[in-house]
Structures are given as C-alpha cells and as structure tokens.
Chain A
Amino acid sequence: MAVSKKESMLVNEDGMEEESDMGDDLSDSELEQESDEEGDVELTEPSKNAIYNKDGLLDKLGDMSWPENAKWVDKLTVDIEQEQPVDVNDDLTRELAFYTQALNGTRMAFEKLQSMGLPFLRPEDYYAEMVKSDSHMEKNQKLKERAKQKKESIESVKKWRKQRQQSGFAGGDKGSELDSAFEDGKPFEKSSNKRTGVAPGDRTGGKAKYAGKGKKPKKREIKDTKFGYGGRKGSKKQNVAETTNDLRGFNKEDGFSRNKKKMM
C-alpha cells in the first residue's frame, strides 16, 4: 500500500521539523518554554500542505450516495440544529447537547413515522433478544439500588441531625461539624498521624513491614544505600561553627515567590 507508506513519511518529516523547533526554543529562552508547557500538545495552526480536494469529495459523494428515489424510511436520518457551540471539555454541557439532539431527533422521527401510519413502538408483550444480557442488567439494577440506599441513609442521618439541632440539644454545634465532614465524602478516613501518644523519634513497636519475607525489597535497599538509614536526624541538622555563616543553602527568592503564590 503505497499511500500508507507515503503518509508515514510525511509524519516523520513533520516530527523532524518540530524537533528542530523545540531545540531552538530551548536555546533562545527558557521562560517562554515554561509558559508553553502549560498548554496542550496541539497544532493551533492548520498545516498548510494538507490536501483538500473539494471537487473530488463531492464527486465521490455523488457516486456513492443512494439514488434519488430512496425514501426517508430507508435512511431514518434526522438533522438537528445545534443551538450554540459546545465546549468540549465541559462534560456535562456536552452530554446535555447530545441528549437534546437525540431527544429532538426522536420526536421528529416519531412524528414522521406516525404520520406514515407505521408501527414504531414496541408493544408490551413483544419479547425478543436484547443488546445487553439479563445478568448484566441485573447487576446494573443492584448497583442502582445500592446507590439509592446509600443516599437514603445519608439523608436520614441529616434529617435526624437537623431535628436534634432544632430541639435545642446541647450537642447541636458539634453536630454541624460532623455534618460537614459527612459532606466531604470521606467520613471514615484514617487520621494522618498514625500513632498517638508516642514520641516522634521512637521507632519501637513500629509496623513490621518486611517481617514476612525477612528481606527488604531491592528498591528500598538501593534507596537506603543512597540516603542512609537509621540513626538520629537531630544531630545532622544542627549548625556547627563552619556552617553558621554559610548562607549558600539559603534561597532568598524562595520565600518571596511562595508569598507571591499565596497572594495570587
């Protein structure tokens, strides 16, 4: 297939060009590069040497399309006007646009079918093979029920809490705190500090991570050789006479930039 080969050649060429472009950018200015990185990797400008043979396309369309006498019932197509340009990245509006298109389309199609006097709705007693199996649909049903139950339970708890608050019970304000935790959706998350009431340096009684195997994983070993393992950290971090006036490790701009970010 000559065409595909040719295509791949083209792609290669494009890639080469872009590579060289990237190299130039790096050497020119790094700041610009940084700002570019935020955006997607997409051609904003259309490539100029793309083929677009309009006459050929229309000719082909004429060749392949059905004869004039093909009725609408053969095609069952409906064209729907899109009210406004849809934002692709907004999932909700996009899906809504598709839904409304389908809904309007079916309405129009059904009206047409009705005017033709054709049966188009499936009677209640018409049983036939479906696209999805019964077991699959059962699973679906279970999932739905479970979601519903969960929702109900949460709502009932909320209701009960509200009632308690209204009744003037002493623990009212505490309840509201709990409520907010509930709404986060992670009510049963573990607290970040694992062991309470134990000195921070104490490693006794820690979790025996590799107890079963008796051997560390290889990655851990490598990391330990690289960064060191065990011993007290405190003494390493203290200043000594040589380091008191050494400000090389101190980054002046760091704090500033961090503040700036916060302001933003």
Chain B
Amino acid sequence: MAKKRKHSEADAASQKKEEVAPERPKRTLLGWKGKKDDQVKESDSTTVFRNKEKVLVTCSRRINYRYRHLMLNVVDLLPHCKKDNKVESKSSKGATLNELVELKSCSSCLFFECRKGKDLYMWMAKSPNGPSVKFLVNAVHTMEELKLTGNHLKGSRPLLTFSSNFDKDPHWKLLKEMITQIFGTPKEHRKSKPYHDHVFVFSIVDDHIWFRNYQISVPHNESDKIARGGLDKMTLIEVGPRFCLNPIKIFAGSFGGPTLYENPFYISPNQIRSMQKKKKAGTFVKKVKAKTRRKIHELENPLEQDEFAEMWKE
C-alpha cells in the first residue's frame, strides 16, 4: 500500500508540475515532433471504445426459491456479472446498495427484491450517476423447467433483438439502452467465449417487456472448417429463463433521485389482491341483502288465503 501511495503522490506531483510548466513539444531522434501528429494520436486513442461493464447481481432477504433460481439463471447468462450476498431490504437499501456496487467496482446493478414471498421486483440501475428502473416481474419460468430443451455455451456473447416499438417513446428508448448495456456481454471479456450461439429477445407487448432466450442451432458442414452454415435451415430452441417486466418507475439517480417516469397503468399486486378480496366479501353481503329484501317483500305483499289449504287437514 505504501508504495502505491507514494506512486500516486508522485503522480500528483508530476501533474502539478505539468500544470505549472508550459507545454513543450516532445523531442524525437530526428528533432522536434510536430504538434499535428500528436493531436491525431490523441483522437486515435479516443476512438477505441472499450466496454467495461460489470453488473452486480443480488437479491433481498426472504426471497422465494423460484425467484432465487431465476436470479441464478441470470448470473449464468451474464459472464460479466458479480454475485453478492443477500441484502436486507429496508428503506435505506438504496444507499447500502450504492455502496456495495462501488465496493465491488461494478458499473451497474440488478437487484431482485422479493416482497411477501410472492411479489418480485427487479431494480436495474447504472451505478454512479446513471438512471435506475424498478420493474415488477411477472410470468417467471426458470431454466430448470424441462420443457425448455435448449442449451448453449456458458459465456458466449448473446445477440440482442429488440422489437421496433422500443424506439417509440423516450422511456422505452432509455430502457433499451440500459438493457443493451447490462445484458450485452462486453466484447473480449475474459470469461466470454468467441462464438454466438444464443439470442435474447426483448419485446414490448401490452406495455410489458418480455424476455426470451433461444439457442441457435445451425446445421454444420463438417468439411467447412470455418463453420458457416445455411442460414435458411437455422432453427431456435428455447433455453429459458422466461420473464416479463412491467416498468413501474424510472429514477434519475441510482436507486433514488427524482422520478423521471411513472407507469400510469400500474397497480401494485397488494392493491389487486385487496380488491379481489373485497369482491369475494361482497358476494356474502349481497346474499344476506337479497335474503332480507325477500323477507321484506314477503311481509309487504302476503299471499292470499288458499281456499284448499285446509283440505288435507283433519
């Protein structure tokens, strides 16, 4: 540590010196180097873009096994992610999560929050100052389900397909960008593999984002060493997991900040449940009411005496 600190100090010192000293053209063997060349070099260095995305994946305490498996599947799909311990979901979880993300030197976070053991919320956040989104997760199927028969390399970079309605509204645009950054595996990541054998589907249907993961199987020509098969014979086999994201809110900061978007159609699952319960309760109340009404009706208009009523009585 000490050495490092020294180094950094020296660096800082040199920076200060540079600030003070006027810039001088660098010297080469043949003479002074032209300034123009230098500028070109700088622009070259900026053109090389390197994606250094790292995603922290965690969940809240008391998470359902099914949702935990979903999280583990997501971990399997993203070779550029780091899994961490469960986080207590309190009101102050935003701050702790931000700290955690920084500690792990990640640039984004996927946080699976389970409430009441049945509702799953997913937070998708860009860490230092990017936006964060809260989704409600529906229709979860994990990879372990046997009807999903595909399989693919662990860590191969996925192709991301988006339906065209992602470009319709600004909030969908933002979500698309976030998804490409978080779900796309960085090029030449050390854990990634060089081939593409699966494809992610992100599609907006009914204002929800649906996720699917397919294996790409192309018939191979054994003689063809470079392995370029016929694209027409290509088939896809689903690998899983499946889930459906319902965006609730978009915040400007990571895990907090001013709200940029609010889903106007969203009702929380708690509300839905309470409404359903109320309806159920209503049926009994209605029955009782109907009975009392009937009684009142009978009392108000009594039947006229039947002349044969006494016929069978002795």
- Chain A contacts to B: CB under 8 angstroms: 1-5, 7, 11, 14-15, 18-19, 22, 26, 30, 33, 37, 41-43, 46-48, 50-54, 56-58, 60-61, 63-67, 69-71, 73-82, 86, 88, 94, 97-99, 101-107, 109-111, 113-114, 119-124, 126, 128-132, 136-137, 139-140, 143-144, 241, 244-245, 248
Contact = CB atoms under 8 A, between A and B. Distances in A.
B152 A130 contact: yes
B43 to A, nearest CB: 10
A175 to B, nearest CB: 33
Contacts of A102: 161, 199, 201, 212, 214, 236
- Shortest 7 CB-CB contacts between residues of A and residues of B: A105-B161, A46-B264, A50-B264, A50-B262, A121-B227, A122-B195, A57-B170
Nearest to A10: B262
Contact of B227 (A14, A97, A119): A119
A216 to B, nearest CB: 28
A26 B279 CA distance: 10
B268 A80 contact: no
Given A51-B259, A57-B250, A64 B130 contact: yes
A203 to B, nearest CB: 34
24 contacts: A1-B256, A11-B271, A22-B278, A26-B282, A43-B264, A47-B265, A51-B262, A60-B252, A64-B130, A69-B48, A77-B160, A79-B164, A80-B161, A97-B205, A101-B201, A102-B199, A106-B236, A107-B231, A109-B159, A110-B234, A119-B226, A121-B196, A128-B193, A131-B151
Contacts of A86: 205
A110 B231 contact: yes
Interface of B: 46-49, 51, 76-77, 91-95, 126, 129-131, 143-144, 146, 149, 151-167, 170-171, 173-174, 177-178, 180-181, 184, 186-187, 193-197, 199, 201, 203, 205-206, 208, 210, 212, 214, 216, 218, 220, 222, 225-229, 231, 234, 236, 239, 249-252, 255-268, 270-272, 274-276, 278-279, 282, 285-286, 289, 298, 306, 308-309, 312-313
A130 B252 CA distance: 37
Nearest to B285: A26
A82 B165 contact: yes
A163 B120 CA distance: 56
Contacts, number: 261
A124 to B, nearest CB: 6
Nearest to B177: A65
A1 B93 contact: yes
Contacts of B126: 64
A140 B149 contact: yes
B262 A66 contact: no
A69 B48 CA distance: 7
A63 B144 CA distance: 38
Nearest to A68: B49
Contacts of B173: 57-58, 61
A147 B161 CA distance: 32
A58 B203 CA distance: 21
Contacts of A63: 129-130
A75 B159 CA distance: 8
B155 to A, nearest CB: 8
Given A4-B256, A61-B173, A81-B163, 18 more contacts: A3-B259, A15-B274, A18-B271, A33-B282, A51-B260, A53-B260, A56-B260, A58-B170, A64-B126, A69-B49, A75-B160, A76-B159, A77-B184, A80-B163, A80-B164, A94-B210, A110-B196, A245-B308
Contacts of A11: 268, 270-271
B95 to A, nearest CB: 7
Contacts of B260: 51, 53, 56-57, 60
Contact of B181 (A15, A50, A66): A66
Contact of B256 (A3, A41, A47, A128): A3
Contacts of A129: 153-155
Contacts of B263: 50
A65 to B, nearest CB: 5
A78 B160 contact: yes
A181 B249 CA distance: 53
B267 A42 contact: yes
A241 to B, nearest CB: 6
Contacts of B196: 76, 109-110, 113, 120-121
A70 B52 CA distance: 12
A131 B143 contact: yes
A88 B205 contact: yes
Contacts of A244: 312
Contacts of A248: 298
Given A1-B94, A3-B256, A42 B265 contact: yes
B249 A7 contact: yes
Given A81-B164, A129-B153, A41 B272 contact: yes
B222 A124 contact: yes
A69 B166 contact: no
